[in-house]
Amino acid sequence: MTSEAMVAVRGLRKRFGRLDVLKGIDLRVPRGGAVALIGPSGSGKSTLLRCINLLDTPDAGSVRVGDRRLDFDGRRRLPPDREMAAFRARAGMVFQGFNLFPHMSVIDNVMSGPVVVKGVKRDVARPMALSLLDRVGLAGKAGDHPASLSGGQKQRVAIARALAMEPEVMLFDEATSALDPKLVGEVLAVIRDLARGGMTTVLVTHEMAFARDVADRVAFMRDGVVVEEGPARQVIEDPREPATRTFLGHFH
């Protein structure tokens, strides 16, 4: 891991109507690093992730992923669609829900991005998809349909599908919140292996022990601002800010 930031968010602002959701967020994620976003419901964690991959369009500030930066300051016009689409492909996102295509087999789900979006030939995409399924422990399920999988397996397919686009950063938004508690561990294990294997990662989680153990750094958000950011263990075990202490108190 070098100190160069793979993701750099500066002065990011986002409103929905009169609701000021992000009030000037700065966040850096080193190449190969993992940052966990924690904070109460409604604090803007999902909106921040969605702004990093442009599912939500920032009102102001800049977002850089790798060597590409988009500025939203004072622009009346958005960057061109092509630029937005190219930028979006740099980040893979996994949501709480599984979002798989139900009518497609597991391997077709994983191949669909490369084949449809990037125009990769199926006979090239297939072995790559199989190796990703192997990486998430599901090579044996390639021909199955999502309906026959457990929630944990579906979420692992969703991770493989995001990886198939060869993103520069993976964004996880409460990837285990919808799972039966018995199935949480297998998904966290895949995320942990990815993060430890050098994938640049931003994850929103309510699993504080996981944030402490997997992330290098933790950012605590409240009301659209980052209240405290620091080394994961320090923020989780010995937070500096009273608001962080109060929030973490609910988990102890």
Per CB under 6 A, residues contacting ligand ADP are: 16, 19, 21, 39, 41-47
Footprint (CB under 5 A) of Mg ion, residues 31-50 = 46
Tell me how far, at minimum, the Cβ of 50 lies from Mg ion, in Å.
9
CA 215 to mean position of chain CA atoms: 13
Judged by CB, which is closer to ligand ADP: 42, or 137? Answer: 42
Tell me how far, at minimum, the Cβ of 40 lies from Mg ion, in Å.
10
Cα 175 to Cα 204: distance, rounded to the nearest angstrom = 8
Cα 19 to Cα 114: distance, rounded to the nearest angstrom = 37
- Residue in the block written with tokens 């070098």: 2
The interface partner of residue 19, options being Mg ion, ligand ADP, none and the CB cut-off 5 to 8 Å by kind, is ligand ADP
Tell me how far, at minimum, the Cβ of 6 lies from Mg ion, in Å.
22
Strand ranges inside the chain, DSSP E? 5-16, 19-30, 34-38, 60-65, 68-71, 91-94, 169-173, 200-204, 217-222, 225-231
Judged by CB, which is closer to Mg ion: 46, or 205? Answer: 46
Classified as helix, coil or strand, 183 is: helix
Judged by CB, which is closer to ligand ADP: 42, or 185? Answer: 42
Judged by CB, which is closer to ligand ADP: 11, or 42? Answer: 42
List of residues contacting Mg ion (CB under 5 A): 46
